[in-house]
Each structure stands twice: as structure tokens, then as C-alpha cells.
Amino acid sequence: MDNSIPVENPKVLIASANPLFRKGLENMVQERYGQTAMIQSTQTTSETLAVMESWQPDLVIVDYDDKSVSRTEFLHQFVAGDSTMQVVLVSLQASGGVVVYDRRTLTPAQVQDWFSTSSSSLQSSETPITKRSSSMKHYAFAGVLVLVLTFLVDLFLSTSRLLPVQASLQAKPIDRLFDLEIIAISFLFSLIMVFIGYSMIVFRRKPGQEEDGTYFKSNNRLEIIWTVIPLGAVIGLSYLGAVTLGETRQADPAPLEIKVVGGQWFWRFEYPEYGIVSDKMYMPVNRQALLKLTSQDVIHSFWVPEFRVKQDLLPGENLVRELRITPTLEGEYKVRCAEMCGTSHAYMESPVIVVSQQEFDEWVKGELAVMGTDPVARGERWAKNNGCQSCHSVDGTASVGPTWQGLFGKTVTLLDGSTVTVDEAYLLTAIINPNAQVAQGSTPNVMPQTYKDSISEEQISDIVEFIKSLQ
């Protein structure tokens, strides 16, 4: 391909809607080639493309700053075609300088030469091919920095105890996945930080550097890479997630069944095998527990961080959910509700106690003994298990509802002005039909109206005994 512009009668096309730009460049071209130069000018993209097609200019000069001549479209057309004409994208500066942004089939020396007759300064921002190898050096260096930072961040995160102690068999695969994700997080963090930091320091604009960066339209290779890699990562992680979930659900042949009931705002644990109901969850170590979870009102979520696994509790008999936990470490933990469920959500927690099989058997014996003989102890248990204590104190402290201390035998004035003495019948009515008799100073409709159905008669009479005992 012949790169030179003919000295005799060169055809020059100037594309700009700006008359000053056109005038300035015409002058330069004439200074360079003399009056023999043939000059045409165009003012829009389509006009420019049409003239290029029909007139076949030797040189095209495009106004870089002009909005009515789309340089992108123009360049695209030019690059796509097989024309040997020469193109210079220039920007005229207020100072009188000329900035060349892009050119084709013209070496920097030729541009220098071409403009040498004018007094303009000339700068080129095109990256010559020889810069390639030094850019590979930048990549290699940044790559090493990314690896080093990844290692350090991962070291920091994995030693800074983000998770509490691992106390169940099901926690193992989950923690393995966490380790992997922490490596991925460290890598992504480092990748972004190193590239931003490196660019800010190494490629900082030097004083006096005025031109724009190199123009490029798109980079297919880069776009394919940044689509395929995240896609692969997401698919890979979902596969690992599914495998891990499967591992946490592996069933032992004879698990200990525990029915877990959540309500506003209490936890209740029932052991059908033993006929025990408790407000604390006891678990023998190294034996799988099969939790059957259900809610009495809204959605709650069973979460003991040390066990890692978590499960929502949904209201409704047909929506009982299962969760398998094999505790591996004796100790006292806490179940907390992980689903915002109302005002006392944050306090909805109960002890979870992992003990040896022997201690567990003793606990079962003790529970059965308490429940078998003493109605007051049973009543205390039922009151706790049904969440009464989130509104009623047993020690005189003010709460949502009246305290139970000293309630029995007290004379209360009802909203209609009548006075009654609190006896067993009053307590019974107060529990199964709370709105029937509301004491002055209390708000009706706050206490749940559903205990008549959800608590058995025997249990309610135990609760009455318990309230009676609180003098």
C-alpha cells in the first residue's frame, strides 16, 4: 500500500461543521501543498461518507470535537472499508496547538512532516506497537501483586474468626464452602484494588499531558472473558451449594425427634418420645436430632449459629419443616429467631444445651419427675412454653400485661366500674376469654384470644395454680 500523499494536486477532504476549523485547516493544507491542492469540505457524517465514496480523496481530516460529524461512525466505516486513503482525526486547541487523536496509514513521522510548515505543536496519543511488550510487563507485575494481596487478605479473613465455634456435623461442609468463598472474596477484592491502585499510581497524568486516551471501540476478547468467567463461577458455586445442602440433609436411621414450636415470642421444645415439653432444648452429643419445626403465628426462623444450618418455621399444620442437626461439641448455645417477627423479635432466644447421653438421660428423668407431681412446677413450665412471660412478669415488674405477683386474692376494678376479687374462676376466664373482664388501667385486645384452643384445659389449670403460688 502506498502511504504517501501525492505532492501534485492532492485531494483533501475536511469534515467539520465548524467554519473556523475548516478555514484553519484549509490554510494549513495550502501552506503545505500550495494552491494546487484540491480541497472539499463536508459538514455531516453522511455527507462525508458520500464524498469519500465518490471523490476518493487522498487525505481526510476529521474534526475530533465536532458533534455533527460522528467520528465513531466515520472511523468504523473507514476501518471496515478497504480504501487506502489517509485519515487524520484532529482537534484544534484554543492555544493554536493541534492534537492528533487517531490516524490510519500514516506514520507519526509523516504527520510531523505534513504539519511541519505550520507553527503548531503536535502531539500523538497513539500507542505504537513497540509498547506492547512493556504493557505485558505491567500485567505480569500487577498479577503478582494480586496474588500476594489475595494471600494476605485470605490470611487475615480466615484467622479473624468470622464464624463462631463449629459444633455440628452439618457445619463441616458449610464451613468448607465458606473457606472457598473467602478465598474468592479475597481474590476479587485484590483484583479490583490492585488494578485501581496500580492505574492510579503508574498511569497517573504527567504535568503538561493534555490529550485524551487512545480511542478504541470495543474489545471482544475482554467481553467474552468477563462473561464466561463469572458465568462459570456462578454455575460452579451453585453446584457446590447443592452438594453441600445435600450433605447437611443426610439422615441417620434413628434420630431423636424434637418438635420445635415458635411463637411471639418464645420457643417450645417437645420430645414426643419422652412426653416432655421444655423451654430449653437439650440435645445428646453425637446423636442426630430431627427437628420438626412449626409456628403458632407468624414466620420465625430457627438459627443456632454454632450449628450453621437454619430453617424457617411456618404457621400451619401442613407446613411443618424438618431440620437435621448432629451436635458434635458439648456446651451451651442459643437459638435465636432469624426472621423479623414483631416487637420482641430481638429477644426471641432460648438456651440450646448439648450434653453427654448420660446427662441427657438424667435431664429427662428430672423433667418427668417435675411434671408428674407438682402442678405449680408444671404451670410454670406451661406459662414459659406459651410465651406468657413476654407480657407478664412474675416478680412485680411492670410489663405489657399486669404482673402475676400478688394477683391472686387481689381486688380489681373492671372497666365497667364493678369490683371483683381475683379467684380461680377469674383467672380461668382471663386466660380463655381475656376481653370478658379487663381491669382498669389495662388495654383490651392485646393479650392473644386463642389460648382456649391452643392450650389444653389441664395445662390451663396448672397455670392457674402457678399464678396462685406467686404471692
> What, of Cu ion, ligand HEC, none, does residue 463 touch, CB below 5 to 8 Å by kind?
ligand HEC
Minimum CB distance to Cu ion, residue 358 (Å): 33
By CB under 6 A, tell whether 431 contacts ligand HEC.
yes
> What, of ligand HEC, Cu ion, none, does residue 111 touch, CB below 5 to 8 Å by kind?
none
> What, of ligand HEC, Cu ion, none, does residue 348 touch, CB below 5 to 8 Å by kind?
Cu ion
- Which CB, 14 or 348, lies closer to Cu ion? 348
Q: Which amino acid does the sequence have at 417?
A: G
Considering only 124-132, 133-141, 200-208, 438-446, which stretch makes contact with ligand HEC by CB under 6 A? 438-446
Strands 276-278 and 266-271: antiparallel
DSSP labels for 11-75? EEEEE-S-HHHHHHHHHHHHHHHGGG-EEEEE-SHHHHHHHHHHH--SEEEEETT-SSS-HHHHH
State the residue for C-alpha cell 484549509: 26
Q: Which of residues 385-414 bind ligand HEC (CB under 6 A)?
A: 386-388, 390-392, 400-402, 407, 412
Site string for Cu ion, 279-318 (x = CB under 5 A): ---------------------x------------------
Count of residues of this chain found to bind ligand HEC when the rule CB under 6 A is applied: 26
The 3-class SS string of the chain reads: CCCCCCCCCCEEEEECCCHHHHHHHHHHHHHHHHHHCEEEEECCHHHHHHHHHHHCCCEEEEECCCCCCCHHHHHHHHHHCCCCCEEEEEEECCCCCEEEEEEECCCHHHHHHHHCCCCCCEEECCCCHHHHHHHHHHHHHHHHHHHHHHHHHHHHHHHCCCCCCCCECCHHHHHHHHHHHHHHHHHHHHHHHHHHHHHHHHCCCCCCCCCCCCCCCCCHHHHHHHHHHHHHHHHHHHHHHHHHHHHHCCCCCCCEEEEEEEECCEEEEEECCCCEEECCEEEECCCCEEEEEEECCCCEEEECHHHCCEEEECECHHHCEEEEECECCCEEEEEEECCCCCCCHHHCEEEEEEECHHHHHHHHHHHHHHHHHCHHHHHHHHHHHCCHHHCCCCCCCCCCCCCCCCCCCCEEEECCCCEEECCHHHHHHHHHCHHHCCECCCCCCCCCCCHHHHCCHHHHHHHHHHHHHCC
Minimum CB distance to Cu ion, residue 265 (Å): 6
> What, of Cu ion, ligand HEC, none, does residue 427 touch, CB below 5 to 8 Å by kind?
ligand HEC
Q: In the beta sheet, which residues pair with residue 321?
A: 293
- Which CB, 263 or 375, lies closer to Cu ion? 263
> What, of ligand HEC, Cu ion, none, does residue 431 touch, CB below 5 to 8 Å by kind?
ligand HEC
Minimum CB distance to Cu ion, residue 264 (Å): 7
Site string for ligand HEC, 351-390 (x = CB under 6 A): --------------------------------x--xxx-x
> What, of ligand HEC, Cu ion, none, does residue 387 touch, CB below 5 to 8 Å by kind?
ligand HEC
> What, of ligand HEC, Cu ion, none, does residue 391 touch, CB below 5 to 8 Å by kind?
ligand HEC
According to CB under 6 A, which one of 434, 465, 468, 470 is a site residue for ligand HEC? 434
By CB under 6 A, tell whether 320 contacts ligand HEC.
no
Considering only 83-91, 117-125, 336-344, 411-419, which stretch makes contact with Cu ion by CB under 5 A? 336-344
Considering only 215-223, 331-339, 367-375, 391-399, which stretch makes contact with Cu ion by CB under 5 A? 331-339
> What, of Cu ion, ligand HEC, none, does residue 320 touch, CB below 5 to 8 Å by kind?
none
> What, of ligand HEC, Cu ion, none, does residue 304 touch, CB below 5 to 8 Å by kind?
none
Minimum CB distance to ligand HEC, residue 362 (Å): 29
> What, of ligand HEC, Cu ion, none, does residue 446 touch, CB below 5 to 8 Å by kind?
ligand HEC
By CB under 6 A, tell whether 277 contacts ligand HEC.
no
By CB under 5 A, tell whether 337 contacts Cu ion.
yes
Minimum CB distance to Cu ion, residue 431 (Å): 23
Q: Which of residues 439-458 bind ligand HEC (CB under 6 A)?
A: 439, 442-444, 446-448, 451
Q: What are the backbone dihedrals phi and psi of residue 406, each rounded to the nearest 5 degrees, phi first?
A: 70, 10
Instruction: Give the integer Cα–Cα distance in Å for 344 and 131.
Output: 65
Minimum CB distance to ligand HEC, residue 380 (Å): 11
By CB under 5 A, tell whether 336 contacts Cu ion.
no
Instruction: Give the integer Cα–Cα distance in Å for 84 and 225.
Output: 33
By CB under 6 A, tell whether 427 contacts ligand HEC.
yes
C-alpha cell at 261: 414450636
DSSP letter for 347, please: G
Minimum CB distance to ligand HEC, residue 391 (Å): 3
Interface contacts to Cu ion, rule CB under 5 A: 300, 337, 341, 348
- Residues that bind ligand HEC in the complex, under the rule CB under 6 A: 383, 386-388, 390-392, 400-402, 407, 412, 427, 430-431, 434, 438-439, 442-444, 446-448, 451, 463
